[in-house]
Amino acid sequence: MSVSTLSPQERNRLRNAHPEVFSRSFGTRWGGLLLIAGALLYLVYCWNFFEVGDKLANGRWERAGIYMADWISWEAQPRFRFRDDGSTEIEYQRFSPLGDNPDPDWLAVLPDGNHEVSFGSAGNRVDISSAGVTAFVGGVPYDIAFESDAALLPADAPAAMSERNGRVTVEYGFAGSAEIRATQVLIRRRFLGWENFFFDTRSPFWGMSAPELLASVTSGERFDPDQPNITLAWSEFLTNSEWQHGDVFNKLAQTIVMAFVGTLFAACLAFPLAFIAARNVTSSRPANWITKRFFDFTRSVDMLIWALVFTRGFGPGPLAGIAAIFVTDTGTFGKLYSEAIENIDDKQREGIRSVGASPAEVNRFGIMPQIAPVIISQTLYFWEANIRGATIIGAVGAGGIGLKLLEAMRTNQDWENVAYMVVLILLVVFVFDNLSAAIRTRLIGAPGREHR
């Protein structure tokens, strides 16, 4: 039956019976569109207030590529200085990854005493002599002239060449670059991988291939008469001056300990306090209120702020990190535990009480079996989350791998070390995430499995 065939009396009856259908409010009809419009206006406001457009337009995006390249590669930086006597002197950066007497195959000394630096294939190279510098881009030579202590950009220079403040820079992509000045030429030669990861240049094992290293630690002549080569190799690995593996492992262990001890102490304190905060267990309203406000206070201040506070009190180190995790998680655990207690089924508790059990036995057998899965699951989750959190608070002085990570980032040069520590953190988080899941499955069963 269509609406048009209904009588006026029938239409009135339907309107009276279902007013929400025929007389919808303004909010019901337009509320969704108003919310969408409000969200869009808010995004426009944030875009202008935070000057997002200007930041994107003026951002130095080329640095992103450089930083990402530094994560997975390393640079050798020979510097060619033009001396007054007409010769050219080669200098390498301090603690050069090429060792004390570098002789790389990409740097050749020509018969006439000049130098040739190659940047991979495609005819990219730089010829350096006291008379001048010639840069080859794609096999095409470009002579760099000097005038008034400044290098001049060739008139026919390609896009890979630029000049700024009397310095001509030639970009060869990932292979590196050459910065040409009137007094010197700085070469940045980039290679894929992490240089000297296992042994630094001062180690007797430096430069060995994998078969040579295996032969040395198993049957080779001892480098140190007082210890076998295998223990010496492990010691050299840990004390690698460029990568500092021993210190990194120690700081990573500090981070794990901070997370574990802070979480454990917080759970131990929050558990009994949760029974005081639960209204169905403790009948004293003042006790409930005071305990819950204590939980609110400790968890309302971020862990990072507590870390700053305790760093001032205890000084830099893991103790400040443990205290920050302990205080923050005490409030969080207390709230979660008390809410779990308040949401239990009272029938089980009343049944235990009806047989004459003591209050402690009522809590043990009437409450604990119901809240144990929640407590175990939440505590283990925060334990693995605190490993990530301990990395952040370590950066503000609480010790651990976070502080080591910040030190490497501050140099703005050791980005491969940053990548190394990030990979270690990811591995640790992955391991403890699976360990936490395994413990939860062991204690409370797999999800969806019926408990008997």
Per-residue confidence band for 4, with pLDDT thresholds at 50, 70 and 90? low
CA separation for the pair 83, 187 (Å, rounded): 17
Residues 273 and 407 occupy one common structural domain: yes
- Buried residues in 48-78 as b, exposed as e (16+ CB within 10 A): eeeeeeeeeeeeeeeeeeeeebbeebbbbbb
Higher pLDDT, 111 or 73: 73
Best CA proximity match to 260, nearest among 372, 384, 388: 384
Domain limits at 51?
21-59
Residues 387 and 430 occupy one common structural domain: yes
Three-state secondary structure along 64-115?
Answer: HHHHHHHHHEEEECCEEEECCCCCEEEECCCCCCCCCCCCCCCEEECCCCCE
Per-residue confidence band for 449, with pLDDT thresholds at 50, 70 and 90? low
The pLDDT assigned to 446 comes to 55
pLDDT digits (tens, 9 = 90+) for 400-440: 888 888 888 887 777 888 899 999 999 998 898 888 888 87
Domain boundary among 192, 225, 253: 192
The pLDDT assigned to 68 comes to 82
pLDDT digits (tens, 9 = 90+) for 202-259: 889 988 888 999 998 888 888 888 889 899 999 999 999 889 899 999 999 999 999 9
Residues 46 and 103 occupy one common structural domain: no
- Is residue 4 included in any domain, yes or no? no
Q: What percent of the chain has pLDDT over 70?
A: 95
Residues 386 and 433 occupy one common structural domain: yes
The pLDDT assigned to 270 comes to 93
Residues 264 and 357 occupy one common structural domain: yes
- Is residue 419 included in any domain, yes or no? yes
CB 229 within 8 A of CB 217: yes
Average the pLDDT over 194-204 and give the result. 89
- Is residue 124 included in any domain, yes or no? yes
- Is residue 217 included in any domain, yes or no? no
- Is residue 212 included in any domain, yes or no? no
Per-residue confidence band for 110, with pLDDT thresholds at 50, 70 and 90? confident
Residues 88 and 112 occupy one common structural domain: yes
The pLDDT assigned to 452 comes to 42
Average the pLDDT over 257-275 and give the result. 92
The per-residue pLDDT of the chain, averaged, comes to 85
Residues 133 and 168 occupy one common structural domain: yes
At CA 126, angle to CA 94 and CA 114, rounded to 5?
80
Higher pLDDT, 327 or 219: 327
Residues 382 and 286 occupy one common structural domain: yes
pLDDT score of 16 more than 80: no
Instruction: Give pairs for 372-377: CB < 8 Å, separation 24+.
Output: 372/444, 373/444, 374/336, 374/337, 374/340, 375/267, 375/271, 375/336, 375/337, 375/340, 376/439, 376/440, 376/443, 376/444, 377/440, 377/444
Residues 400 and 256 occupy one common structural domain: yes
How many helices (H) and strands (E) the chain has is answered by 16, 13
- Is residue 180 included in any domain, yes or no? yes
- Is residue 211 included in any domain, yes or no? no
CB 311 within 8 A of CB 397: yes
Residues 292 and 438 occupy one common structural domain: yes
Give one DSSP letter per residue of 243-310, joined into a string. Answer: T-HHHHHHHHHHHHHHHHHHHHHHHHHHHHHHHHH-TTT---HHHHHHHHHHHHHHHHS-HHHHHHHH
Residue 430 maps to which CATH number? 1.10.3720.10
What is the gyration radius of the CA atoms in the chain, in angstroms? 34
CB 362 within 8 A of CB 348: no
Residues 84 and 55 occupy one common structural domain: no
pLDDT digits (tens, 9 = 90+) for 17-50: 777 666 666 777 777 888 999 999 999 999 998 8
Per-residue confidence band for 314, with pLDDT thresholds at 50, 70 and 90? confident
* Total domains, the chain: 3
90 phi and psi angles, rounded to 5 deg = -100, 130
Residues 167 and 279 occupy one common structural domain: no
The pLDDT assigned to 24 comes to 67
- Is residue 206 included in any domain, yes or no? no
